[in-house]
């Protein structure tokens, strides 16, 4: 469908332009989603993160290994149950997320300014319809312990 393709193209171009202008790392979507969950939630165990992501524990273990090596996640022994490990997002990861959010705004504002008036008017008029379409699509995603009720788009994933 042309609309879905166009939305995806805008999303990908926004992410690429933001990363390029801000000098940000290109993180795989699974890592971006994991960081979003860890930032938005209290500290959790790898098993809890695996459940939230809807991924197998070994997959999440590999994901966490990469995030920890990049300095985005800290694993620490739980003070409540010393057998458990608790995950926390680092300040470095928060700074990357915040820089992405700021950069995205700058990139989109700059591109918007170069559009002619007719394009800006058409896009502004389409915005409420696109928001309603997103809401309808979200209602079709089953909400289970392993599936977030509102999956993030690639652009939004890094910035939440």
What secondary structure letter does DSSP report for 66? H
Whether 140 has a pLDDT exceeding 90, the answer reads no
Compute the average pLDDT of residues 114-141.
Answer: 93
Q: What is the largest CA-CA distance in the chain?
A: 61
Q: Say how far residue 113 (Cα) sits from the centre of its chain.
A: 26
Top pLDDT among 123 and 145 is at: 123
Alpha helices in 23-116 (DSSP H): 29-40, 46-53, 57-69, 91-114
pTM to 2 decimals? 0.71
Residues 66-108: pLDDT tens digits? 999 999 999 999 888 888 899 999 999 999 999 999 999 999 9
Whether 149 has a pLDDT exceeding 70, the answer reads no
- Per-residue tokens: 140: 């079709």
The DSSP bridge partners found for residue 87 are: 44, 75
Whether 146 has a pLDDT exceeding 80, the answer reads no
> Which are the contacts of 26, defined by CB distance < 8 A and separation ≥ 6?
19
Residues 33-75: pLDDT tens digits? 999 999 999 999 999 999 999 999 999 999 999 999 999 999 9
For residues 152 and 79, what is the distance between their CA atoms, to the nearest angstrom? Answer: 32
Contact 14, 104 (CB under 8 A): yes
User: Among residues 141, 126, 109, 138, which one has the least CA distance to residue 3?
Assistant: 126
Contact 148, 156 (CB under 8 A): no
Whether 131 has a pLDDT exceeding 50, the answer reads yes
Domain membership of residue 28 as a residue range: 2-159
**Structural domain tally of the chain?**
1
For residues 65 and 59, what is the distance between their CA atoms, to the nearest angstrom? Answer: 10
> What pLDDT was estimated at residue 143?
61
Rg of the chain over CA atoms, in angstroms?
18
Query: Which residue in this structure is represented by tokens 């599936």?
Result: 147
Average pLDDT, the chain: 87
Whether 148 has a pLDDT exceeding 60, the answer reads no
**CATH no. for residue 73?**
1.10.10.10
Q: Say how far residue 99 (Cα) sits from the centre of its chain.
A: 13
């Amino acid at each position: 469908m042309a609309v879905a393709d166009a939305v995806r193209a805008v999303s990908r171009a926004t992410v690429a332009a933001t990363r390029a202008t801000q000098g940000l790392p290109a993180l795989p979507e699974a890592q971006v989603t994991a960081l979003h969950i860890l930032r938005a939630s209290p500290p959790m165990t790898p098993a809890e993160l695996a459940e939230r992501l809807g991924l197998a524990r070994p997959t999440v273990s590999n994901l966490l290994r990469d995030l920890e090596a990049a300095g985005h996640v800290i694993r620490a022994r739980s003070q409540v149950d010393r057998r458990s490990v608790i995950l926390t997002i680092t300040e470095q990861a928060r700074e990357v997320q915040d820089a992405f959010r700021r950069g995205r705004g700058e990139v989109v504002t700059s591109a918007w300014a170069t559009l002619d008036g007719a394009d800006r008017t058409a896009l502004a008029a389409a915005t409420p319809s696109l928001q309603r379409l997103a809401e309808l699509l979200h209602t079709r995603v089953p909400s289970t312990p392993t599936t977030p009720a509102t999956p993030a788009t690639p652009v939004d994933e890094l910035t939440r």
